Amino acid sequence: MKVIMLGAPGAGKGTRAALLSEKLSIPHISTGDIFRANIKNGTELGKLAQSYMDKGELVPDSLVCDLVVDRIQQPDCENGFILDGFPRTIPQAEALKEALDSIGEKLDHVINVYAPDEHIVNRMSGRRSCSQCGAVFHVEFAPSSKGDICDKCGGSLIQRDDDKPETVKKRLEVYYEQTYPLLEYYEKQGLVKTVDATGGVETALSDLLKAIGA
C-alpha cells in the first residue's frame, strides 16, 4: 500500500505514520531521513543535495523527487510505503506522479490528518524539550513529574523557538499557502481520506485503518 500523509505542522502526521507503518509492516519515510541517509552514505544524490545545502539554498524539487523515488525503489518498499513530508507543493506532487508513472507505480491513498488551528497552536506551544537529553514533554498532556525538570535526566525543560505560538502560527500560514492546495489536487484524483487528529492516539490507528479500508 502506497500512502502519503498530509496535514498541518503539529497535526500529528508523524505519530500516525509511525503507527500505520508498524501495523502494515511498510516503511515510514520522511524527506529528512532520506537526506541524512544519502549524505551520510556519500551517494551521488546525497553529494548533490549537500552542495545546495552548503550554499544555503533549497534543494530543487527535481532532486528531492529523485531522492524520494530512489528510496521507494529499495527492497523494503516492495509492499508499499508511507511518505511523510513529501510532497509539500503542487510541482513536487506532479514530479512524483511523473516519476511513479515511469516505474509503473501509483498512490493508493492520501491521508489528511486534520486538526483545527487553535488545537495545533495549543498542542505545540505546550511542548517542552529537555536541554540535555532531548526528551519531549507537554505541560498538559504529558508533563514531567518534576515540573520544569526532566524526569529522565534532571535537565532543564525549555520551550523551543519553533514551538512558540507566534512561530507555530507562521508555520501554519506557510502550510496553507504552499501545501494545503495539495488536498484539492489529490481530491480530484479520488485519493484523499481525512482522519480527525483531535481525539488523541488512543483511536488513531483504528481511524487510519478504517479510512484506508484495511
- What pairs with residue 142 in β-bridges? 138
Q: Which of 106, 160, 170, 210 is catalytic?
A: 160
- Establish whether 36 is a catalytic residue: no
- Establish whether 13 is a catalytic residue: yes
- Establish whether 123 is a catalytic residue: no
Which cell numbers hold the place of 44? 551521488
Q: Which of 16, 123, 127, 128 is catalytic?
A: 127
- What pairs with residue 195 in β-bridges? 113
Q: Which of 164, 169, 171, 193 is catalytic?
A: 171
Q: Is 166 helix (H, G, I), strand (E, B) or coil?
A: helix
Q: Which of 2, 13, 16, 128 is catalytic?
A: 13
CB-count exposure of residue 180 (10 Å: 0-12, 13-18, 19+): middle
| 13 vs 19: CA distance, rounded Å | 10
Which cell numbers hold the place of 156? 532543564
Which parts of 147-188 fold into alpha helices (H)? 165-174, 181-187
- Establish whether 160 is a catalytic residue: yes
| 186 vs 166: CA distance, rounded Å | 30
Positions annotated as catalytic residues are: 13, 88, 127, 160, 171
